[in-house]
Amino acid sequence: MSAVAVAAVSTKARWAGWIMGALPCLMMFFSVAMKVLLPPGVPEHFTHLGWTLPDVRSLAILELACTVIYLVPRTAALGAILLTAYLGGAAAAHVRINDAGVAAFPIVLGVLLWGGLFLRDPRLRALIPLTR
């Protein structure tokens, strides 16, 4: 099997990719904090979504683990895949209760995660060539 030639990523693209990918990660860390601290209104929100409080704590651990995996350059692609699944579940939970406006938010986060990875990882650019 031959190796695919991978073009280098410019410094600007790499920085843009890290910034684009860091923004949703900050939101994910905020989400983890809300699940752990459970400020007023958060337990009721998750009950409305159909989750119990032990489930919410488990979701916080899962979300934190996936986000950390995404932030490690060597495992970023796996993290993006795992976060895509997690965010898809979040979007589905909101669609299930007819809250489609909020369901768009996790989808946007997923697009930003993949966009950031695309900008900074030449292997992903080789797999998904958007230009010729």
Per residue in 29-88, pLDDT (tens digit) is 999 999 999 999 999 999 999 999 999 999 999 999 999 999 999 999 999 999 999 999
pLDDT at 5 over 90: no
According to the model, what pLDDT value does residue 129 have?
Answer: 77
Distance CA 120, CA 131 (A): 16
pLDDT at 2 over 50: no
Domain boundaries defined on the chain = 11-127
Name residue 49's amino acid: L
> In the Cβ-directed half-sphere of 99, how many Cα atoms lie within 13 Å?
14
How confident is the model over 106-128, as pLDDT tens digits? 999 999 999 999 999 998 988 88
CA 93, 96, 101, 103 torsion-angle sign: positive
CA 42, 44, 50, 56 torsion-angle sign: positive
According to the model, what pLDDT value does residue 130 have?
Answer: 75
According to the model, what pLDDT value does residue 34 have?
Answer: 97
pLDDT at 3 over 70: no
The pair of three-digit structure tokens given for residue 107, joined into one six-digit string: 């989808």
Q: Please give the torsion angle defined by the CA atoms of residues 24, 65, 106 and 32, in that order, rounded to the nearest 10 degrees.
A: -80
